[in-house]
Structure 1
Amino acid sequence: MTTMDKKDVGLRNSNILELFQGAQVLLTGATGFMGQVLMEKLLRTCQIDKLYIIIRPKKGMTEKERLKKIFDSSLYERLQREQPNCISKVVLVTGDNEQRGLGLSKEDHALLVHRVNIIFHAAATVRFDEKLTTAVAINILGTKDMLDLAREMPHLKAFVHFSTAYSNCIMKEIDEKFYMPAMRWTEVVQLVDSLDQETTEIITPIVLGEWPNTYSFTKALAEDLIRDEARGLPIGILRPSIVVNTASEPVVAWINNVYGAAGAVTGAAIGLLKSLHCDKDIAADMVPVDMAINAALAIAWEVAQHTSENKPAQYLNTKMKTTCKNEDIIPIYNYVSSTQNPITWGEFMKLNEYAINYPSLKCIWYYFFTLNKHRFIHNIYVIFLHLLPALITDIGAKIMGKKPIMCKAYQKISKFTDVIAYFSTKQWNFHNNNVQNLWKRMSPQDKILFKFDMALLDWEVYLSSMIKGIRFYFIKDSFEHAEKAETRYQRLKYLHYTIFYSVQLMLLYVAYKIVLHYWITFKDVLLEILQ
């Protein structure tokens, strides 16, 4: 059977491939973690005609240079091998989601309006400590500009908006529906527009209220915006939880960042992170990035299916009013693991102790890590296992004429652990009926090509490869030096336990001297009482 024959068979049995064959797709956020995986999947599997990506120059690199850097990465090796000319399908569109109108030229705006069939809006600032002004500009106003652009597209079949499962993290029970925020998106936009940067930063904690950061706050408001402004558009919202390494495609365990759970694993594996403020008994809700992307593609299919089947007003690309509320029309998908295949933080970190078997040359200390539910206990660990060693190391570096770096490193680690603590000490009850029903409606062929059912994931197998992926793809530590790394790690182990037991003996000695002192002081009194 020829390659063309295989494609024809795949198309006949795959509803999702049928949607994407020959499609002209617009993707925002293509340079981000999820965006890169989505771009690769679209080009490798979906037989699209063109992929338009909105991209801007950054850090001295042009749009073409940024794209080339992505295509030269290990994530795209399989695609480059199977389809060497795939990059010819990518059309670079200069733009910026932080600018009004997406920073598009009139020509590019017109091109997108007349050509695009499907939109994936994955662009966002994911920094938890992002300035409110920037987060509003990208996450809220950038989304509004995308909706305005989509409304002009006469051939639009589907629009998938990437949100987060934690957009409504102030709720304990999170269903696949819209929630009303304390402040509407219009109020926050007007407030930010009316204030200078300094004033905005001062009042940000007040504006956030119960929300832990500007990211989840502006993502909630972006959903509020969609509820108001997406009437008549064929749109669906994907809410993934903590997104981590790929499970299987295009390569196993690929990752290009150490945010969230991956950061905790990396810090513990190289011996930097010794304690995390975390309840080991609550769910660590995380999903592999490739499975989340497959869910996004399936959502596009389902939204497009409703578009063709429901020509009445709720899905027509017009401004016609309907008696239905938008929240009753726009489907939301909570893509989470805790409902079907839960794993606790304790189980997650225990399985990641696999890192001990494959140490990195970049390890600075032996693996010694604990989860502390109580903040007070965690802080004690931080003082004795983070701050004091860092201070001693930096003093030693200064004496030797080297640059001290450990104290600054632990300041960043402290900031990271404070951010993740909100999500590792709270339990949410997610509902994901829409996701489960979507999976059930898919054809057998689509379930193979676009696998996203979290119930099928084997956590032990997946996590055994996770640390390898972090080491190889992010830390850039080759496995060629495994023997050398193992030798060095054994030395760190001996040093660790030498110091550990020496400190214990010192503490026992101090305790003995204290008890002896009080015994000598109060011996006569105690004997008299006993008599």
Structure 2
Amino acid sequence: MIMSLAEWYESREILVTGVTGEVGRILLEKILRTLPNVKLYTIVRSRDGLTKDERLKKIFSSSGFERLRQENPDAITHVRTFEGNLVYSNLGLSPEDCDNLKNVQMMFHTGGSTDCVYEFCKTSLPNLRVLAIATNLRYHENISEVSLEDEEKIQNIPLALLRLPTVGPACYEPMPGFTEILRGPTALMIGAGFALGRTDIPAEVVPVDFAVNALIVAAWERGTRNKDEGAAVYNVPVIGCTWGELVRKGQLARRNFPYPTFGIQGMTSIGWLHWTVVFFLEWLPSVLCDCVLNIFGGKSRCVAEYDKVRKALQAMEKITTKPLTIERSAYRRLEERLTPEDREKYPIFCDIDLEAYIMCAAASAKKNCINESNAQFIGNLKKILLTLFLAFLVYLLMGFRN
């Protein structure tokens, strides 16, 4: 009989990398909130004038950890942070720090490059039961659940590899709709800009909390098997709608929580139409408004917001413009091995109310991703421009009558 997830994690020593990134943060919060009896370690490098401990404190003070702070104010004391760098040999750790980590049984890697991580697991983690890695899907026509890459590098490593589609705002945890960074899915949902893509193909988006649950579950499942069985590969499923539905369901969210750009909501697969709309209705108004601001000694605002949204949407064009065939049968078998209690605590399939999800994401984006003064300024500017446009139309109509 397989040990339940909660029992298996009891008193484990766990190393988590990438906690300064989106997935790593939510993973750290989830482990601390739901697996309180583990020993938790992280690797963080000093940066931008902040030490490793100061960066960790900054993460804990962010809005994504508000629920954890309320439930367990001392949670940060359960995390031991080491100075390191994931692209260096031994992950940039000192020999003493490596010795302190020798009893680690689980490692979650959400921090980018894997080459040094594989070598570190082989040389410095003799008691490792599972290495769980979250990586992005490399999109091509057919994507199987078989690991064909880096076979030599992963040899003798008990690996659980999760391939994630585009990560979107949280659905339920740490709070509904939670997002701190404006990425492509959020920009599309809330109508921050006009997108290039096909409205009829499935939206390759997974809420970040489902991705984190999948990582925890996959690590448990691989850890219960023999170390020499090879890599377990899972392609994480998506929210179950098309890109067109995602755009349409976001119309109400856009009206209630407008993003401070001149972007319009929509998607088209026609390249010239897409760039015509972007040029005349997004880029050009942004440039003209910033020019007027500069003339009167104001600070440029509109082009910077336009650039942020445009970069976010362009990053998604590989998955919005062509249909994909992705195998997910191994992933579906994961849930069958969970107890009812674990399924409730770590749901891995996205059975969600799409409209509510998008509305919560838009509210969170307004709170965490938007400069409020920019929002008020651009909102007022849109009203002025609309008034001038209507006045111009009235003037033309009166001219025709005369």
Decide: shared fold, TM above 0.5: yes
Query: Match for residue 117 of structure 2?
Result: 146
Going from structure 1 to structure 2, the CA distance change for 1:392 and 1:102 (only over 3 Å counts) comes to: same
Q: Do the aligned residues in 1 keep the contact of 2:201 with 2:243 (CA within 8 Å)?
A: yes
Q: CA deviation at 1:78?
A: 1.9
Matched residue SS, 1:176: coil
Query: Match for residue 209 of structure 2?
Result: 290
Query: Match for residue 334 of structure 1?
Result: 235
1:84 to 73, 78, 99: 73
Going from structure 1 to structure 2, the CA distance change for 1:74 and 1:236 (only over 3 Å counts) comes to: same
Query: Match for residue 243 of structure 2?
Result: 345
2:141 to 154, 172, 178: 172
Q: Are positions 1:17 and 2:19 aligned together?
A: no
Query: Match for residue 260 of structure 2?
Result: 363
Q: Are positions 1:69 and 2:58 aligned together?
A: yes
2: CA distance, partners of 1:231 / 1:504: 74
Q: Do the aligned residues in 2 keep the contact of 1:282 with 1:427 (CA within 8 Å)?
A: yes
Note the alpha carbon deviations across 1:440-478, whole angstroms, 9 max, x for none.
Answer: 121111101111112x22222222211111112332759
Q: CA deviation at 1:291?
A: 1.0
Aligned-residue CA RMSD (Å): 3.0
Q: Do the aligned residues in 1 keep the contact of 2:130 with 2:222 (CA within 8 Å)?
A: yes
1:469 to 364, 379, 384: 364
* Aligned residue type for 1:178: S
* Aligned residue type for 2:361: M
Matched residue SS, 1:154: coil
1:242 to 162, 166, 170: 166
Matched residue SS, 2:19: coil
2:16 to 12, 27, 37: 27
Q: CA deviation at 1:158?
A: 1.3
1:161 to 106, 125, 133: 133
Note the alpha carbon deviations across 1:505-530, whole angstroms, 9 max, x for none.
Answer: 97x99xx9xxxxxxxxxxxxxxxxxx
Q: Are positions 1:280 and 2:280 aligned together?
A: no
Q: Which has the larger radius of gyration?
A: 1
Q: Are positions 1:100 and 2:24 aligned together?
A: no
Percent of pairs with identical residues: 27
Matched residue SS, 1:228: coil
Query: Match for residue 301 of structure 1?
Result: 220
- Structure 1 range deviating more: 63-72 or 143-152: 143-152
Q: Do the aligned residues in 2 keep the contact of 1:359 with 1:489 (CA within 8 Å)?
A: no
Q: Do the aligned residues in 2 keep the contact of 1:118 with 1:156 (CA within 8 Å)?
A: yes
2: CA distance, partners of 1:83 / 1:408: 38
Note the alpha carbon deviations across 1:310-347, whole angstroms, 9 max, x for none.
Answer: x6xx24xxxxxxxxxxxxx311100021xxx5211111
Q: Are positions 1:378 and 2:268 aligned together?
A: no
Which runs of structure 1 show a deviation greater than 6 angstroms over 4 or more consecutive aligned residues?
Answer: 503-506
1: CA distance, partners of 2:36 / 2:290: 55
Matched residue SS, 1:48: coil
Q: CA deviation at 1:499?
A: 2.4
Q: Do the aligned residues in 1 keep the contact of 2:260 with 2:370 (CA within 8 Å)?
A: no
* Aligned residue type for 2:355: E
User: Per residue, is there more helix in 1 or in 2?
Assistant: 1
Q: Which runs of 5+ in 1 are unaligned?
A: 1-11, 125-138, 180-223, 316-328, 479-483, 513-531
Alignment TM-score, normalising by the size of structure 1: 0.69
2: CA distance, partners of 1:297 / 1:99: 26
1: CA distance, partners of 2:17 / 2:24: 7
1: CA distance, partners of 2:273 / 2:16: 45
Note the alpha carbon deviations across 1:242-289, whole angstroms, 9 max, x for none.
Answer: 1111111221111111122123345x34xxx3x222222222111111
Q: CA deviation at 1:497?
A: 7.0
1: CA distance, partners of 2:129 / 2:240: 34
Going from structure 1 to structure 2, the CA distance change for 1:163 and 1:364 (only over 3 Å counts) comes to: closer
2:177 to 253, 273, 283: 253
Note the alpha carbon deviations across 1:425-454, whole angstroms, 9 max, x for none.
Answer: 121111111111001121111101111112
Matched residue SS, 1:163: strand
Going from structure 1 to structure 2, the CA distance change for 1:410 and 1:251 (only over 3 Å counts) comes to: closer
Alignment TM-score, normalising by the size of structure 2: 0.89
* Aligned residue type for 1:353: Q
Going from structure 1 to structure 2, the CA distance change for 1:500 and 1:364 (only over 3 Å counts) comes to: farther
Query: Match for residue 153 of structure 2?
Result: 229
Going from structure 1 to structure 2, the CA distance change for 1:447 and 1:14 (only over 3 Å counts) comes to: farther
Going from structure 1 to structure 2, the CA distance change for 1:255 and 1:391 (only over 3 Å counts) comes to: closer
Q: Do the aligned residues in 2 keep the contact of 1:14 with 1:445 (CA within 8 Å)?
A: no
Matched residue SS, 2:314: helix
Q: Are positions 1:396 and 2:384 aligned together?
A: no
Q: Do the aligned residues in 1 keep the contact of 2:189 with 2:358 (CA within 8 Å)?
A: no
Going from structure 1 to structure 2, the CA distance change for 1:14 and 1:463 (only over 3 Å counts) comes to: farther
2: CA distance, partners of 1:504 / 1:414: 34
Q: Do the aligned residues in 1 keep the contact of 2:2 with 2:224 (CA within 8 Å)?
A: no
Note the alpha carbon deviations across 1:113-156, whole angstroms, 9 max, x for none.
Answer: 2x2010101111xxxxxxxxxxxxxx2xxx22222222242322
Note the alpha carbon deviations across 1:171-224, whole angstroms, 9 max, x for none.
Answer: 211111134xxxxxxxxxxxxxxxxxxxxxxxxxxxxxxxxxxxxxxxxxxxx2
2:110 to 104, 107, 122: 122
1: CA distance, partners of 2:392 / 2:147: 57
Q: CA deviation at 1:57?
A: 0.5
- Alignment coverage as a number of residue pairs: 398
* Aligned residue type for 2:121: A
Q: CA deviation at 1:402?
A: 2.5
Q: Do the aligned residues in 1 keep the contact of 2:264 with 2:281 (CA within 8 Å)?
A: no
